[in-house]
Copies of this chain bind each other. A is one copy, B any other.
Amino acid sequence: MTFFNENPVTAADKTFYQLRKDIVEGDITAGAKLSETELSTKHAVSRAVVREAINRLESCHLVERKANVGARVVALTPEGLIELYQVRESLEGMAARLAATNMTEHEIAELQLLLDSHSDKVKTSANYYQEAGDVDFHYRIILGSKNNHLISMLLEGTYHLVRMYRVQLGMAGERVSTAFDEHKHIVQAITNRDPELAEMLMRRHILYSKNNIEQKLLKPNNDT
């Protein structure tokens, strides 16, 4: 999974990417305090570098910072996840709308190919899809919007948070076959250059995911 413009050139970059990875994947536990001195010794860099990294994490809404007190990793709450999906619905819906007009024929053809390759895998190893394929699909449509603000908001902000929730609340490999069908219809709308339908289908797609997650969160004691 390769993300938007990730070539660490400076020490602050590397520290930022490393910390982000640790937070998203739960190696740094949610709600934990980020001590600047501690992190600077651990990563063998100066405190200034760590401070810059933490500032960037704050911009991504992955940590919260209070003046003269310090930074904490954000807490994972059901409400936070719902809020995130509402933002996704709005932004990715617009992305799909724009993609329907702005994607090149070549890009659409490649999107079709991606879907075809998933078509096989979804039958064999179901959990593969949700993990990487789903991200890849949404990723391409976001880029296809050609709207730089939209792209950076989603790829530098929202998406890492969504992944943090997914990884740490352990919600992978769900709703696979239906989600795949929804993807197919979205691509169809984009192929037909139908912006309004593409947006509506994308919004429905994300809304369904949200409802699915909401259900799980409201009755979490079904696996005992």
Docked CA distance A13–B55 (Å)? 12
Q: Which residues on B sit within 8 Å (CB–CB) of A149?
A: 61, 80, 83-84, 86-87, 158
- Is A91 interfacial (CB-CB < 8 Å)? yes
A98 interface residue, CB < 8 Å from B? Answer: yes
Size of chain A's interface in residues, with CB distance under 8 A?
31
For A90, the closest partner residue in chain B by CB is B94
Copies in the complex: 2
Residue of B nearest to A8 (CB): B67
Chain B residue at minimum C-beta to C-beta distance from A67: B9
- Asked if A153 meets B150 with Cβ closer than 8 Å, knowing A55-B52, A87-B91, A91-B90, the reply is no
Contact: B94 with A87, CB < 8 Å?
yes
A35, CB-defined interface residue at 8 Å? no
> Does A125 lie at the interface of the complex (its beta carbon under 8 Å from any beta carbon of B)?
no
- A55 to chain B: closest residue by CB: B55
As a 0/1 sequence over residues 85 to 112 of chain A, the CB contacts with chain B under 8 angstroms (1 = contact) are 0110111011000100000000000000
**Which chain B residues lie closer than 8 Å to A86 at the CB level?**
94, 98, 147, 149-150
Query: Is there a chain B Cβ closer than 8 Å to A138's Cβ?
Result: no
Inter-chain CA distance A98–B85, complex, in Å, is 13
User: What residues make up the interface of A, taking CB atoms closer than 8 Å to B?
Assistant: 9-10, 13, 48, 51-52, 55-56, 59, 61, 67-68, 80, 83-84, 86-87, 89-91, 93-94, 98, 147-150, 152-153, 157-158
10 contacts across the A-B interface (CB closer than 8 A): A10-B67, A48-B48, A55-B55, A80-B148, A83-B149, A83-B150, A86-B98, A87-B149, A87-B150, A91-B91
